Structure 1
Amino acid sequence: MDNLITFCITVFTGFFAITNPISNMTVFVALTQGANKKTKDDINKRANIIAFIIVTVFVLLGKFIFELFNISIPAFKITGGILIFFIGFEMLQSKQSNVKSLKHVDVDENIAVSPLAIPILAGPGTIVTAMNFVANVEPIHIILVIAIFGLMSILAYITFRLSDNIVKLVGNNVISVIGKIMGLIIAIIGTGMIIQGIKLSFNLMS
């Protein structure tokens, strides 16, 4: 039971850092500027539902994808770790990650699919993180990962729904600091994945 609790905390922390709903709500505010409340809510719901479906598909089919492309778990962990570390490093440098770079988008419900669902909520970093959590684990862990990302989707929905009020209340500077903290956590997660991959490659796991 203790191992499952530790696993859940690790997964939640990883998802919270990589999806970063507090920082991403500023993107949501910018993309939906000028839209009425109903349109914003429709975009919010659709984006989070699509993101949840995408991550769930990759979580459930991750093993099949590994076998189809003959991807080893150590190679995946190392490559995924490098990608996640790079995203976290960019956030620490106050840069917007290339996987989330945005250009001007007209306000319509299509932005719920792109760029909100893909790549902001369910981008490469999120997918790699999710697949890493379910690599070589028991079915119960897979269920927990899906449930925890579902919880993250709900949190993102609530955060986006309250985005206008939150930005006015805390200010952009506080959100920027939170983004840097999340960047550090992401970089650490990426480093941990690389270390795990190297240990697996050389049979150094204790």
Structure 2
Amino acid sequence: MFSLKEILSVTLTLFAIIDILGSIPIIIQIRQREGKIHSEKATIVAGVLMVAFLFVGQSILSLIGVDFQSFALAGAIVIFLIGLEMILGIQLFRSDPLASSGSIVPLAFPLIVGAGTMTTLLSLRAAYSLPNVLVGIGLNLVFVYIVLKSSVWIEHKLGKAGEDILRRVFGVILLAIAIKLFKANF
């Protein structure tokens, strides 16, 4: 049932797709804007989204008449806007001080669990046994939680100049990812 090789493959594949390390500048930006990252809430919501999509994702998209290409394009638009925010130093996503939703949108969705993660989950489900996929999701969520919980420490270690450079570099990378999603799904 459990296979260390499958668990490792699933974990590394999801790790590359989620790219929580590449999201550090966005995490810092959200924390600065919101005042706090709700690490537990973001991790739990991301976990629920991943597991739910693993089981019913294809059915839900089919039921509402949305194909994967449209879903991926919608995610690409959000990622594109976040990249613009990072590069230009503007704020497109307005926060509601009462809602503190930055930990959910755009952090849990679409940064941690975006169209790429969801598509990958469906592919992994077809290629590996379900228990191994679930363990891989769990291991990635532990790492996501650690990075989110350490965002203040990471920001302190980077410093203002390091944070600015990283934010702009990853902003360009996000734009490139968004454009790649556009090209692949348009």
Q: Distance in 1 between matches of 2:119 and 2:152?
A: 27
**Shift in Å at residue 191 of structure 1?**
5.0
1:150 matched residue in structure 2: 142
- The change in CA–CA distance for 1:70 and 1:15 in structure 2 (over 3 A counts) is closer
Q: How does 1:192-203 map to 2 (within 5 A)?
A: 194=185
TM-score (norm 1): 0.63
Matches within 5 A, 1:59-138: 59-62=50-53, 63-64=55-56, 66-67=58-59, 69=60, 71=62, 76-93=67-84, 94=87, 101-103=93-95, 105=97, 111=100, 114-115=101-102, 117-124=103-110, 126-129=112-115, 130-135=117-122, 137=125, 138=129
* Cα deviation 1:14-42 (Å, max 9, x = unaligned): 2126981223202312432xxxxxxxxxx
Post-superposition Cα deviations, 1:33-69, rounded to whole Å, max 9, x if no partner, equal xxxxxxxxxx44xx111111112212222223543x4
Q: 1:28 is matched with which residue?
A: 31
Specify whether residues 89 and 75 from structure 1 end up closer, same or farther in structure 2 by C-alpha distance, changes over 3 A only: same
Q: Does 1:172 align with 2:175?
A: no
Q: Which has the larger radius of gyration?
A: 1
Gaps of 5+ in 1: 33-42, 196-206
CA contact (8 A) 1:88 1:182 kept: yes
* One-letter amino acid of the counterpart of residue 185, structure 1: I
CA contact (8 A) 1:91 1:179 kept: yes
Note the residue ranges of structure 2 that are not aligned, 5 or more in a row.
Answer: none
SS at match of 2:122: coil
**Counterpart residue number, 2:45:** 54
Q: Contact 2:20/2:147 (CA < 8 Å) preserved in 1?
A: no
Of 3, 8, 12, which residue of structure 2 is paired with 1:9? 12
Residues 60 and 83 of structure 1, relative CA distance in 2, 3 Å threshold: same
| CA distance in structure 2 between the aligned counterparts of 1:144 and 1:173, rounded to whole angstroms | 32
**Distance in 2 between residues matched to 1:53 and 1:182, nearest whole Å:** 24
Distance 1:187 1:88, change over 3 A: farther
Q: Which residue of the partner structure matches residue 184 of structure 1? A: 176
1:174/1:19 Cα in 2 relative to 1: closer, same or farther (>3 Å)? closer
Distance 2:178 2:17 in 1: 7
User: How far has the Cα of 1:131 moved from its partner?
Assistant: 2.8
The count of corresponding residues between Structure 1 and Structure 2 is 173
Q: Which residue of 2 aligns with 1:204?
A: none
> Structure 1 89/105 Cα, relative in aligned 2: closer, same or farther at 3 Å?
same
